[in-house]
Structure 1
């Protein structure tokens, strides 16, 4: 099985290589330090599993995940993060990654996570306090993206073909899920969590 790392820290690449070098049947592909380079590498290398950092310098996680899947259909994505906040589980649920591994716990669980996703199963590192991984629905996420563009409820309703009152309900739900005071606070918290 071919594994690729997309992370902007060189030490992470080296650490993963050391961790998997003794694992049977695991071969490292050329890695990347940005999502854009990761997509190019995935196109050339066709990895089975990609370890994807939550915070990349050039692209938000949902966009990076979609681009990698487009470049290499069927690839398994492992969210590889140093963040253990509850929002990580929400992000994983929204993006639909196959596994979540905390960098602090990688020595203990990384090979297990890679093996599990390669076999078609999901894996969540017990260190991650995931809460409810589906706390935001896909529709709520679409509304959140529109909020980040500065659109009003009526503009969001028009773009998503929803009733204005439905959009208002989604916005209220987002504020509650993100523990945000207002729309701007929701966008800022979502950006800080890597959701946008």
Structure 2
């Protein structure tokens, strides 16, 4: 099955590099390019790609708002958006994840990581590097989290979860992978995968990214882990 990709990047050389790399990969097809956010949204709605590779700093319409229009909570048929950025844009990446992005990569990531990231997102999984997740989401969670939530042991937003599910959610929010959670809780990876699926279903979340953001927003974990 071919994964159809739209590349939204304002720097022509970077965009050309993405297109060259992706076009050379079996099973990937670049169906369009856009040099600004508005053009990216229009192209995505017209072409309906499987994955949109989205830069954050775009002219006309920034990548955060473009992501929100394509994958936000009010979008009837959200698309899969993979954000590319740099560490010095942490806050913007956090807002992009809240806007509905399925994950993010650093701009200086090796080509193989970009290719693998696109395939991961296309398969319906989120792409979050655990160490980066801790640094990114934890850094800004306190700023957007209500003070009342911090004082609540089990926030109402996650009260539908069983104790073990809450513990899995905490570990997800700390940036642990399924394998690391399995080791920490002495469970099989398949069991952890089942827990994650139940958490997403019970909380009506689309993917792991939204679970991480929710856990930090309601104060289930603290910024220092």
CA distance in 2, matches of 1:115, 1:130: 23
Superposed CA offset, 1:100-158 (max 9, x none): 11111141300110011111111135785751526556x939xxxxxxxxxxxxxxxxx
CA distance in 2, matches of 1:72, 1:42: 14
Q: Secondary structure at the match of 1:133?
A: helix
Point out where structure 1 has 5 or more consecutive residues left out of the alignment: 142-176, 178-196
Aligned length: 143
Contact 1:83 1:102 in 2 (8 A): yes
Q: Which residue of 2 aligns with 1:100?
A: 104
Pairwise CA distance, 1:7: 1.1
Pairwise CA distance, 1:90: 2.6
Pairwise CA distance, 1:72: 8.8
CA distance in 2, matches of 1:107, 1:84: 21
CA distance in 1, matches of 2:89, 2:111: 20
Contact 1:7 1:34 in 2 (8 A): yes
Q: Which residue of 1 aligns with 2:17?
A: 15
Q: Please report the TM-score for the alignment, with normalisation by the length of structure 1.
A: 0.61
The correspondence for 1:56, drawn from 51, 55, 58, is 58
Q: How does 1:1-150 map to 2 (within 5 A)?
A: 1-69=3-71, 73-84=77-88, 86-87=90-91, 90-125=94-129, 128=132, 131-133=135-137, 136=140, 140=144
Contact 2:97 2:103 in 1 (8 A): no
CA distance in 1, matches of 2:47, 2:76: 9
Contact 1:89 1:133 in 2 (8 A): no
Q: Please report the TM-score for the alignment, with normalisation by the length of structure 2.
A: 0.54
CA distance in 2, matches of 1:43, 1:86: 27
Point out where structure 2 has 5 or more consecutive residues left out of the alignment: 146-222
Contact 1:88 1:128 in 2 (8 A): no
Contact 1:52 1:80 in 2 (8 A): yes
Please, what is the CA RMSD of the aligned residues?
A: 3.2
CA distance in 2, matches of 1:89, 1:40: 22
Q: Secondary structure at the match of 2:81?
A: strand
Contact 1:6 1:31 in 2 (8 A): yes
